[in-house]
Amino acid sequence: MRRGRLRGFTLSELLTGLLILGVLLVASAEFTSLSVRQYRRTGSMMERVQLESTARNAVIQELGFAGYGRGFLGDFSGSTVEVRPGRDADTPDVFRIHYLEERWLETPQERHITFEVARDGSGTWNLYRREDGATRQPAVQDVTNLKLLSFVDGAGQLTMPWAPWPAEVKGMVVQLPFSWGTQWAAYIPFISAQKLGGL
């Protein structure tokens, strides 16, 4: 019985196979790297969108409580909305509101909430929320400023912060810039006209 001669790969066939394998490995690594970068970019973008939404909601909802309960739960002496303008456009404004809290309480209690933007010990910008009698707590990170753009007076007209302030306001427009360059303007309507004062 005659046996056939075993034939191996030639050097050129082996090199061609290795070249094809190398190209496939490089393409696979590049695709994987691109997928990981896209995943990280999408995750970072989603985190930013979430932070922006949280900051807007915190500012709109909390500041919108100004004067809540006045008239039907009790009354306030003095202003229900107070603003301290920053020195310039880069210095954050400080907002303070007063309202009556009734949820789960036997008798309504006055609440005094302050919103401001400042850097923490590590240099990160934060939107801070502080209630009287409590420590200042960071509400949202990466908010770099909180600026009053305008008041809405009793007649529904916009009043700029550098013009004479009206005695009462129905709302205000604020701006929230973030560390990645996004800026949001938010209109904050009040339940009724609120007494305005300075801090």
pLDDT band at 134 (very low <50, low <70, confident <90, very high): confident
* Tokens at 61, concatenated: 């909802």
Cα Rg, the chain, nearest whole Å: 30
pLDDT by residue (tens digit) across 9-62? 788 888 898 999 999 999 888 888 888 888 888 778 888 888 888 888 888 888
pLDDT at 164: 94
Amino acid at the residue 103: R
For residues 70-93, average pLDDT: 88
For residue 102, the model assigns a pLDDT of: 82
Q: Are 169 and 196 contacting, i.e. CB atoms less than 8 angstroms apart?
A: yes
Quote the pLDDT of residue 3. Answer: 63
* ∠ CA 61-123-147, rounded to 5°: 35
Paired strand residues for 183: 177
Beta bridge partners of 172: 151, 188
Q: Measure Cα distances from 31 to 20, 34, 36, 92, 193 in Å.
A: 17, 5, 9, 44, 58
pLDDT in tens, 143-196: 999 999 999 998 889 999 999 999 999 999 999 999 999 999 999 999 889 999
- Residue 4 — pLDDT band, cuts 50, 70, 90? low
**pLDDT confidence tier of residue 128, bands split at 50, 70 and 90:** very high
Mean pLDDT within 76-101: 91
Predicted structure pTM score: 0.77
